[in-house]
Structure formats: structure tokens, C-alpha cells
Structure 1
């Protein structure tokens, strides 16, 4: 490969949130353990992005900085090239991250007491944005089912969604597309049906498409804007960012596409109430480089992550077949069901962290339907993943869990 996806990084003492959180939980852990929790990568950044920042610094003044035409063009052109839909530059509202944008959308496009629909198990800031801002959390849980070949997967409960959308108190739905943590890449038909329901019932759709670039081989992301009609633009806001794709979350760069003028004005007004809504100055050259120079890096990344998922799935099938690993159509986050072990959420979390020395994202934090699940971050070198899974199997043997309940059989 042209790029380095094998070097093992040590982020101790760098301020990495997930590494610091691991050591807060296990201060005596020592070295050699890599957390597979929070969704940033254990890979080096694309060299083109680092070089772009260095070049920009040569003549830069680090003052307040607005988006340039080059930045806006890069965001628009990326969506056209990679996802096949045409935006306009003036639709873009830059924000310092997708999560602040979600909070602002709830604050500016709904009123206190309104119902906001989420589809759990789902990225937990969705629910936090609703409850923190004194709105009513309305759940439309995803359904667990199986395909004709017996493989597990999730689908939307459209009948339940229609009932929830028909309630005039429910005015917004926050869509995760691709879905974090369950890994679904929604089809055009699914998105079209969702839009039909929401537009008919005057429910605005806030689509978090931050993982839209991280699509595994054999699957294709459908941008919600590519299935929408112009007359539906007043019901759609799309949150995008280069942060997950290129591991630059620390630069706080997001491009929110708001095609309707009135909705955009309301959204911008909401940002005026937040003193720190501007992007930092490094976000602009980094985003431009990411969206104009890093296609090859992304293509290699997807091959690495896909191979890691196949290794995880094969490993579990061989050693812990009772653990159900759901297909990872998108994101770099694998979703695995450990409920067959019969442990409580507290027991499972304790086992992972104290016995297996695995620091994952616990399924229960994603809301209804997440208990007993674990989310594995697969954006890491293969040897990190192998060592992590070996610790898991060893700890399961010691505790006589699952396949080893009657003794050491493997």
C-alpha cells in the first residue's frame, strides 16, 4: 500500500480523549493496550492534510477566519464526485462539528416541548440534544431481523414511524445515515419512504451523514438529497464533515447543507446564540486538502477497515460463535451482540475492562436495544485488533463464558 496503516501509535499524554478515558478507568493499566472505543482512528493522518496545514502556516495570520470560496467549492465538489448530488455553495453553513450542529438544529428549528424522533440504538448525542434542550424524546426503535440467507441485520420500523410522525407534536426526526452503531447503509427506497412519511406529516429531517464516505465494498451510500424533490428541501438539513473520514475531528470542521432559505436563516440565527460556533482557522486548509487530494488515502483506508471487519467476524465465528456480529455496511464501527452470555450491562462492562482489558463503547449508551452489545472501533492496525481479540478469548476461557461455559473447548 502507498500509505501507512500499520504503524502502532502511542497516544498517551497527547490529550487523546479515548486514551485518557482508558487510563482514568484503569490507572494501573501500563502500556501496550489500545482502546477501541471513541470513533477516531489509530492511524496517521493523510500526509497531504498535514502538508497543507504546514504550507498554510508559512504566511498565515492566526486570526478570525471565514470560509473561503475554495473551502466551499471543495465541500460542494466532494459531494458531487463521491456521492452524486449537486449542492449550491450558499447552502453551506460551517459549524464547529456535527454535534453542535445537531444541537443547534433542535434549538432553532423546534420549540420547547416538541417531540424529536430518534431511531435507537443510535449515537447518544442525538438523545442528549433533545433532552438537554427541553424537547420530548420520541423513539422509533430499529427492528432486528434476518435476511433470507440467515444473516442478521436492522431495518426501520416504518409503521411505527408513521404513527409517531402523525402526532402534530412531533416536528423533527434525526436520521443517522449511515447508521452508528448498527452499521446499516440505508437504501434509496428506505430513504424515500422515510421522506414520504416525514414530509407528509411536516416533520423536518436532520440527516447526520458524517460517515457517508466510510462505505464498505459492495455497498453504496445514498445521500438523502439525491432522493429528495426540490419541493421537499424545506424539510431537510444535512450534516457532513471530513472529520471521521480523514481523522481530523480535533480541527472541528463541518459543512451543514441547508437548501431552504428560511430554514437556513433560522439555523444561522440559532448559531448567533452560541459564542463559539466559528471553525478554527486550521479547519479550512485541512478540509480543502482532504476533499481535493486524499481520495487515494480514503480508498486504501476502506480496504484496511473492511479487512479488519472480515477478520473480526471470522475470529468470532471460530472462537465465540454465540456472539452475533452484525454486518458493517458502513462506518468503521462493528456492532456485536454478547447477550448470549447472560451478563448484565454492568457485568459485561466490567468483564471487558477488567478481565479482557478491552475498552470499547458499551452498547447500552446508545439507548433502547443496545444493552448487551459492544461497539468495536476497527480503524486500527491489524495487530492491535488481533491482540485485543486474543485477550477477549483468553478472558472468556478463564470465566467459562459462552463457548467455554463447560470448559476449555477451543
Structure 2
């Protein structure tokens, strides 16, 4: 068994990475420790790099066919990791999950139709419908005493009307890193089925369940869910290959599938670029052990943050993610205004984190921090944050 080294510090500057190159435009300074973009600082697994390198040895990069092995690797992975028996005809490539949300909006809704989201949630869920001239309906999550969330079905009933055509589900949830129970997903499926609402289930963090938790694919919870759902997935978060763009859609319902896949094919949006299938096949056929070791390391990083906050900055409360490498930090006990919180994190701690307010209602007084990084970098970040908090 190969032991992977997640403590290796890799200098990403000069690689064109968003995490560093966008600091100056977005924060006005480039001396911040970046723990914001949702990719990891770990080297992409060598078996993926080698698979792509082998193809790059051939000197011609012309038009290519999509290998059938791509679909079988996805089918086998879903069965192995999530006990979901996906059929070949349910699958297609999409050039990114946020793009996929935009595609579904344009195929299945008209300007003025409504899209339901559950803040605090990944901000493109709001921005993409708005930019496509759809109205966004908010069904805020309810915060429980333990810091995790419940869906508010009473509010959902109140805000939903006949113009609501889509529901965008974050499963697992981002930024809280929460996995939804089968019972919650069943209730949501029944609600949406009764009202002819299509559910887009973003399951990009599905393979990153932590601390014994398990991900439940939305489409598997009952027949209603299968009949109304379009699931998006990708190996990008798990194997740190977001730049390869290797996303896919799973659509069990024949009617939804025919309409969506026909539109994708008409616009040649279902054809992957040359390296996407190669990277995906390598990830899903050789990646089990790497994934296991990576998740164990991420769990260690989460525990490190928890212990550090408890000992040095008790005013900051991290919510333990049940899935993903993102930690939802609660600064409420420091009693800071939004401006003061930004000053604390940016100008005092010199950290680039995701501002909780960007995720919508319920994100106030929070920051999202990426712990998919070597422990030494994470320790530096926490020490900078502790020093900043002590200064106020």
C-alpha cells in the first residue's frame, strides 16, 4: 500500500491558480494566506497525472471520442461508494456543475419563473438564476442548538407557489458540510413531486463524507425523487482536479432526460475535452486508497481546528463538517459588526476566507475556511487568527 504525503507544501504561485491570482483583485492585497477557494493544496494523485501524461506523449490533440470506459467507471464508483445502481443511459457529461444549473434553468424554465434555494448556501445557487432572469425564492434553513441545520418545511409550504419550477439542493450542504438524512430527502422529494418541481441535486462533495457519516444520493430515497431529479457530480473535489472539468449529470427519469440531453447535444455541450475522461477514469478506477488516506488527513485537520479554537480562541466556534474539507466558522460570540469581522480576518489575521454573508441569510458572523491544506499551513492560519482575535 502506498502512503501519500499530505504534509508536502507545494508552492502554487505562478501556476495561474485562482486561490492566489485573485487575491489582489478581490481583496486589494496579495499578502493573505488563501483558505477560500474550494480546491485542495494537496498534489493531484500521481495515477491521474500519469494517465494524462501518457496521453500527452502522443503528439496529436485532435477530435476524440468519449470512451465507454468513462461511463462504466462512474457507474462502478456510484455503486461502490453510494450503493446507487446507475444505468448507462442516465449519464451524460456536463462542462461544470454551475454551468449545469444554468443549463437546467434555460431548458426547463422561462424568464419570470421561480427557483427555490435554501440559504445559507453556495452563492451561485442564487446568482445563476438571477443572471438568467429567474426569480429566486428563499427557504432558509433552521439552525439547531448543535449548530447543524434542519429544512423548514412549513416555510417551504408558505413560499412555494405555482411559479416555482426548480429547487436547487446542496447535498451534501455547502458551506455547513452537512449530510442530509434519508427521511429529510424523502420529505423534500414528496413535496416537490406533488407540485411538479424539478430538483437539481448538487452532489459534488458526495465522496467526502467524514467521521463515519454517509452520503445519501437524492435520487435513491424514493421513486418520487428519481422521477423529478437531475443529479450533478464530479471527481473534482475528491481528487483535486477542478481545472480538468470532468462533471457529469445523472437523470433517471426518461422524460426529463430526453429533453435535457437533447438540448445538451444540440449545443455540443455533452462532449468532454480530451483529458476529462482520462482523469475521471483514473480517479474512479484507482482512487479508493488515495481517497481513504486523504479523508483521514482532512479529519485530522478538522480536529486540529476544533482543538485550537477551544484552547486559544473560544470565541470562534467551528462546525464539524460531516462531508467536505470546508469548515463553517461561527464568530457570533465575538459580537463584531460585519465590517469589524472583515477587518479581523483580512487586515489583522491576513487570511483570505469566504465571507459568510455571501451565502445568504444565516451566514452573518460566519466565515468558511478550507482545511484541505498541509497541517503546517493550517497551523499558521490559526495562529494568525488567534493573534488577531487577541488584539481586539
Q: Scaled by the length of structure 2, what TM-score is found? A: 0.95
Deviation (angstroms), 1:275: 6.5
* Conservation of the 8 A alpha-carbon contact between 1:23 and 1:29: yes
Aligned counterparts, 1:301-316, within 5 A: 301-316=294-309
Does residue 220 of structure 1 match 2:214? yes
Does residue 107 of structure 1 match 2:101? no
- SS across alignment from 1:152: coil
Residue in 2 that maps onto 1:141: 140
The 10-residue stretch of structure 1 (39-48 or 364-373) with the greater mean CA deviation from structure 2? 364-373
The equivalent position to 2:163 in structure 1, one of 158, 163, 169, is: 169
Moved >6 Å (runs of 4+)? none
Q: RMSD in angstroms over aligned alpha carbons?
A: 1.8
CA distance in 1, matches of 2:197, 2:336: 39
CA distance in 1, matches of 2:253, 2:74: 18
CA distance in 2, matches of 1:68, 1:346: 51
Deviations 1:300-342 (A, max 9, x none): 0100111111111111111221222222111110001112223
Does residue 158 of structure 1 match 2:157? no
CA distance in 2, matches of 1:319, 1:304: 22
Residue in 2 that maps onto 1:393: 386
Deviations 1:135-191 (A, max 9, x none): 110011111112xxxx321111122123334x1111110000000001110111111
Does residue 338 of structure 1 match 2:337? no
Deviations 1:76-113 (A, max 9, x none): 11101100010111111201111111111111112211
- SS across alignment from 1:237: strand
CA distance in 1, matches of 2:271, 2:343: 40
Deviation (angstroms), 1:264: 1.8
The 10-residue stretch of structure 1 (340-349 or 321-330) with the greater mean CA deviation from structure 2? 340-349
The equivalent position to 2:344 in structure 1, one of 342, 346, 351, is: 351
Residue in 2 that maps onto 1:207: 201
* Conservation of the 8 A alpha-carbon contact between 2:121 and 2:174: yes
CA distance in 1, matches of 2:137, 2:29: 41
Deviation (angstroms), 1:67: 2.3
Residue in 2 that maps onto 1:404: none
* Conservation of the 8 A alpha-carbon contact between 1:141 and 1:368: yes
Deviation (angstroms), 1:124: 0.6
CA distance in 2, matches of 1:369, 1:46: 36
CA distance in 2, matches of 1:335, 1:111: 35
Residue in 2 that maps onto 1:5: 6
CA distance in 2, matches of 1:265, 1:21: 39
CA distance in 2, matches of 1:318, 1:13: 36
- Cα 1:280–1:346 change in 2 (3 A) is farther
Q: Which ranges in structure 2 are unaligned for 5 or more consecutive residues? A: none
- SS across alignment from 1:55: helix
Deviations 1:257-288 (A, max 9, x none): 01222212222344357566642110111000
Residue in 2 that maps onto 1:116: 115
CA distance in 1, matches of 2:65, 2:90: 15
Deviation (angstroms), 1:26: 6.2
- SS across alignment from 1:117: strand
Residue in 2 that maps onto 1:371: 364
Deviations 1:33-88 (A, max 9, x none): 64100100010011110011112233474223342210010111110110001011
Q: Scaled by the length of structure 1, what TM-score is found? A: 0.91
- Cα 1:367–1:27 change in 2 (3 A) is closer
- SS across alignment from 2:119: coil
Number of aligned residue pairs: give it: 391
- SS across alignment from 2:208: coil
CA distance in 1, matches of 2:27, 2:201: 36
Residue in 2 that maps onto 1:251: 244
